[in-house]
Amino acid sequence: MQTRRRYSVPLPDGRTLSLGERTLVMGILNLTPDSFSDGGALQGVQAAVEAAVRMADAGADIIDVGGESTRPGAAPVSEGEELRRVVPVIEALAARMSLPISIDTYKASVAEAAANAGVAIVNDISGLRYDPRLAEVVASRRLPIIVMHMRGRSDDMYQHATYHDVVDEVRDELRESVAFAVGAGLPADAVLVDPGLGFAKDATHSFEVLARCGEFAELGRPVVIGPSRKSFLARPIRRASLEADVEWPTAAAVTAAVLAGAHIVRVHAVREMVQVVRVADEIRKYHRDR
């Protein structure tokens, strides 16, 4: 079982995010049209806020707000549409809860508007490779950033899923993202890494990354793992997809991530996964004490 280093990540409001003593749970709040759009914009905001409050009540440590789907084959969303989806919700959440809010975006303009609305963290699937201005915005606003490993775009990512040693190559590419962030003016302690399960990786790659995710500790940065409802989890149970019973395979992957040393797990079903994380953390504690 991987020893987990402790980190203190500074937030822009003066607070810190303490990582390593226990695993933090990041709740996913998707604001794509099939999530909270029925009933008009106002009702959509209210529904999104209520969903986030339920996550907080269930034990979430961070709420991750996203206005653009990045699943394989997803169509890009314009800057204006993404802003329309996320900013009113972030403003409402910031006024109602004290939990740190993150914005799942790779666009500098969206990150800046989200910072004005109250976000404390940027979660970038591109690892600072899509928008050259994003690192500058994050540095100027003193926001921590999660840099995820990705190759290509949503419509062609699997064309880039060729590796000799997937963990070594993902780690090297994440190291480049960290170096780019620091070169743009971010302090090293404001950068977290995510190996990007399911992104530009086939099922075999994703399982290997998950099994060996403790090796990303070599980067000297906190590790975020997002296994929730990913399609690669369907392979061992011989299903084409995870349309039913999606949380059981997710629970297994979350447990593996915690035992391997992940600092944060990013999930949809917060109530269920908080329980999974707490049990896995308890196992870690006894292993450490021994």
Residue in the structure block whose two tokens are 């404390």: 120
Which class for 246: exposed (0-12), middle (13-18), buried (19 or more C-beta within 10 A)?
Answer: middle
Instruction: Provide, for the chain, the percentages of residues in helix, strand and coil under a 3-state DSSP scheme, each rounded to the nearest 5.
Output: 45, 15, 40
C-alpha 74/C-alpha 76 separation (Å) is 6
Is 230 in the active site? yes
Q: Per the residue annotation, which of 151, 153, 171, 230 is the catalytic one?
A: 230
How big is the chain by its Cα radius of gyration, in Å? 18
Half-sphere exposure of 91 (CA within 13 A, CB side): 11
Per annotation, catalytic residue among 266, 271, 285, 290: 266
User: How many residues would you count in the chain?
Assistant: 290
Catalytic, 84? Answer no
Indicate the SS3 state at residue 158.
helix
What is the token pair recorded at 229? 């409802």
The closest alpha carbon to 270, from 228, 213, 223, 222, belongs to 228
Contact criterion met (CB below 8 Å) for 83 and 108? no
* Distance between CA atoms of residues 250 and 85, nearest Å: 27
* Strand segments (E) across 50-177: 62-66, 101-104, 121-124, 145-148
CB 130 within 8 A of CB 77: no
- Beta-carbon contacts of 282 under 8 Å, excluding residues fewer than 6 positions away, are none
Distance CA 19, CA 283 (A): 17
Catalytic residues: 230, 266
